[in-house]
Amino acid sequence: MENTHPTTGKYSLNFGLLAGAIGVVFNLMLFFVDAHTDTRNPVVTVVNIVLAVSIITWGILSYKKANAGYVKIGEALKIGAGIGLISGLISVVYVLFLSNVLDPEYVSKMMDLQFAEAVEQGNMTSDQIAQAKEMGMKFFWFSYPVMLIVSIIFGLIIGLVGGLIFKKSAEG
């Protein structure tokens, strides 16, 4: 019987889809309670980080189990980055859907929240705020590749830490 070696791509895809689906469900929950624009809520940030760390760690451990108890740091990095890539792509698609279908005013609301502090402090005139908001709305598309890059980097970091913790190679 032939011993097949599991591929990191399979685990990246499966766990990336899982992370993306859970992220979409969580963000839809926030949308339905009208908390999707509350960027200053630390609970939301902590939940997102815990979900990402848990799913990437689960992916690395599942790969290790399928690979006869062995995982190298490079494999853990690939799994972490892959999960970050897949879940990041799903997140970008969700934000596109959110900002174009579910809440067409989403970008405007986010810009208003960003400039609310400047209005309170009187740092900017109303003309400056309107101009900055207009520019921000024009270049909101730039947030999509940034989301993807941040997701991949975060996946790499978690994969590195997971790889260092769980590494075990067949050679040693």
Q: Where are the domains of the chain?
A: 8-103+144-166
Q: Is 67 helix (H, G, I), strand (E, B) or coil?
A: coil
Instruction: Provide the CB-side half-sphere exposure for 167 (13 A, CA).
Output: 14
Helix axes 73-97, 143-166, angle to 10 degrees: 150
Q: Which residue has the tokens 């997102």?
A: 48
Is the pLDDT at 171 greater than 80, yes or no? Answer: no
Q: Check pLDDT > 90 for residue 83.
A: yes
Q: What is the pLDDT of residues 104-149, one digit of tens each?
A: 888 878 887 777 777 777 777 777 777 877 887 788 888 899 999 9
CB atoms within 10 A of CB 85: 19
pLDDT band at 170 (very low <50, low <70, confident <90, very high): low
pLDDT at residue 1, as a whole number: 41
**pLDDT score of 9 more than 80:** yes
136-150 core/surface letters (b: 16 or more CB in 10 A; e: else): beeebeebbeebbee
CA torsion 45-15-88-168 (nearest 10°) is 80
Calculate mean pLDDT across residues 18-24.
Answer: 96
The pLDDT tens digits of the residues spanning 36-61 come to: 887 778 898 899 999 999 999 999 99
Beta-carbon neighbour count of residue 99 at 10 Å? 19
- Per-residue model confidence (pLDDT) at position 10: 94
Per DSSP, the chain holds a count of helices (H) and strands (E) of 6, 0
DSSP string, 13-29: HHHHHHHHHHHHHHHHH
Q: Of 47, 152, 8, which Cα lies nearest the Cα of 89?
A: 152
